[in-house]
Amino acid sequence: MTETPVLLATAGSAGLGAAVVRLFAKNGYRVVVNYAHNSERAAELIKELLVATNQVDDNAYISIQADLAIKNDVERLVKETISYMGRIDVVLSNGGWTRFTNMKSLDDNVSEDDWDRAFAINVKSHIWLLHAAKEALDISRGAYITTASIAGLSSNGSSLAYSVTKAAQIHMAKQLARMVGPRIRVNTVSPGLLLTEWAERFTDDQKEAHRQKTALKRFVNIDDVADQVLTLAKSSSTTGINVVVDAGYIL
């Protein structure tokens, strides 16, 4: 089994997940990119990584399909990662889901389907993934990092279900850090608005209002968030924290 460290990144083919994947590959990690549906986008990212790093090992970067809302899929994702790579050193649990609603309307925030899916992706998928990867991370003294949101720290967000489940995710990560220590570190990053495909759901006026509310009068740089993930992966002394990267939005 090679000693080269391995990153498993869920929802890793676009947005923040892809930015983290690129950064870790640049820093010498082998990478497993999880995707839900878009196999072509995942394959393109793998090709990009091979070229960018001059990697001669075609198996250094692979993609694996799995639906994070299905527990058996999450468990299979981990098993296949270990089968291909032989180890896991860092997990970026990056899955998230929302349906945009009117946050001023209670009537628009009581869909049972919305709450069930938000809880499945934004809370349960993270604990399922850690449970499945626990043995491998224990061996490597690894890091488990989840992507939350500043919506979990304020009354804002795309929906009430999203905001509440992101708050639950942040709280859960602190409990998990106690449960799986001392060999595994569990931390969370909570970005502000990132100008990814996710942000395309907001109007230009909404995005500008967000920017103006930040102390730095800027949007969060996605590479800054990726850098924070790498920092948490490298730190042997950090666990149970939520790092906010929001350009001062919630100050």
> Residue 34 — φ and ψ, nearest 5°?
-90, 140
Is residue 162 among the annotated active site residues?
A: yes
- Out of 29, 35, 61, 162, which one is annotated catalytic? 162
Q: How many CA atoms lie within 13 A of 168 on its CB side?
A: 18
Report how far residue 223's alpha carbon sits from residue 213's, in angstroms, rounded to the nearest whole number. Answer: 21
Going 209 to 210 to 211 to 213, the CA torsion angle's sign is positive
The catalytic residue positions are 162
